[in-house]
Amino acid sequence: MLLLSCTADGDFYVTGVSLNKTDLTLEAGRKETLVATVEPLYVADKSVTWSSSSNTVATVNNSGEVTAVNDGTAIITVTVATQDGNRSASCHVTVTSPPKAQVRFQKLNASNVTRLRVRRSTDGETLVEHNFGAGNGTSSYYEIPAGQHRPAYYELDANAWKYNTSISTYNFQADSKYTVIYDGSQNTLSVTKDGISYARDDGTAETGWRANSSNTDDFWMGNQFTIDESLILTSIDVYGYYASNNTNSRVYIDIYNSQRTLLGSSASFILPNNSWINVPVNNIPCSGTFYVMVRWPGNSTTHYLGMDTNGPHANYDLAWIRRNTGWILMRENNPDDANARGVFLIRVHANILTK
């Protein structure tokens, strides 16, 4: 038999409240929302009040969202009023310290202000900006706020600053941009300027390919890369292979992830005559398998995209074509053409995001 408290006009009385969790552990800076269930389920007025036993450890808002503030423990309580007085339920919250990240700099001249920017690696959104301020010879450090360490990367707009930690010293050059890389533990920041590059070709093109100028749709050719590290792509080198006429159409680079979702594109550029061109891309986060594809708009006339057919990766099936939404290996698209068995002269420049 089901027992209910009921008023004369048919409304039900509140009899109690429960929470979806009785224990919760959070890193400082993180949030989680607790769910309160007012009993019985079909009562009309489900209003509750939330409180924390220690707002210096964890706070809670009117919606049950708990924010971890500092190390320690706190009890989050939700309370409802019943006919017989208040009923409550509680959750024990333990707040732990996230790893700390500090950056320390010493300024070598007073002419410029240097800014540290923390950006989220997944979408590049700026989370934190900190100006170190002017000051000749001034030492300064900045502790990155809790909860914003990972996934993130740290970008320094540097002008004659000296990076100084117990493990390394780095002299920044004026008017350069650096990426500060944080590996998750205190004082283990490293700095890259030029980053690293990945080549799948041997540096010499034996042949080249371009979109047929009679194509009216976009057409892509490029390389698949599979990389162990998580990267921020900064630029792409592309080798243009000489064609005799009509070579001034502009092309683009599109970066796709392993699901062939577009991650980002370059500005337009012209494939050069038997030389490399460095094409910037806007700090595109990448990991695992990704594709670097040159895009020819319809009716383009260009030099060829260089292909290496005799290097160490030439037989690895890394060269792809995309036409509309269809992707096919170069080799499968041109089964009788030995010139389609190779890898394009496309190289990736990147900063390593995590070790």
How far apart, in whole angstroms, are the C-alpha atoms of residue 297 and residue 239?
Answer: 18
What is the side-by-side order of every strand in the sheet holding 72-82?
23-27, 85-96, 72-82, 49-52
Is 32 or 237 the residue whose CB approaches Ca ion more closely? 237
Report if residue 311 touches Ca ion, rule: CB under 5 A: yes
Is 207 or 287 the residue whose CB approaches Ca ion more closely? 207
How far apart, in whole angstroms, are the C-alpha atoms of residue 118 and residue 214?
Answer: 46
How far apart, in whole angstroms, are the C-alpha atoms of residue 134 and residue 40?
Answer: 63
Length of the chain equals: 355
How far apart, in whole angstroms, are the C-alpha atoms of residue 90 and residue 204?
Answer: 69
**Least separation, in Å, of the C-beta of 300 and Ca ion?**
25
Report if residue 56 touches Ca ion, rule: CB under 5 A: no
Is 32 or 202 the residue whose CB approaches Ca ion more closely? 202
Task: Report how many residues bind Ca ion under the rule CB under 5 A.
Answer: 5
**Least separation, in Å, of the C-beta of 332 and Ca ion?**
21
**Least separation, in Å, of the C-beta of 340 and Ca ion?**
14
Structure tokens at 35: 């769910």
Report if residue 237 touches Ca ion, rule: CB under 5 A: no
- Find, among 257, 238, 219, the residue nearest to 308 by Cα: 238
Of 35-43, 195-203, 256-264, 343-351, the window that binds Ca ion (rule: CB under 5 A) is 195-203
Of 62-70, 239-247, 304-312, 320-328, the window that binds Ca ion (rule: CB under 5 A) is 304-312
- Find, among 86, 103, 96, the residue nearest to 142 by Cα: 103
Report if residue 202 touches Ca ion, rule: CB under 5 A: yes
Is 222 or 311 the residue whose CB approaches Ca ion more closely? 311
Strands 304-308 and 102-107: unpaired
Is 132 or 344 the residue whose CB approaches Ca ion more closely? 344
Q: Are 353 and 195 in contact (CB under 8 A)?
A: no
Is 97 or 310 the residue whose CB approaches Ca ion more closely? 310
> Phi and psi at residue 331, in whole multiples of 5°?
-65, -40
**Least separation, in Å, of the C-beta of 204 and Ca ion?**
4
Report if residue 204 touches Ca ion, rule: CB under 5 A: yes
Residues that bind Ca ion (CB under 5 A): 202, 204, 308, 310-311
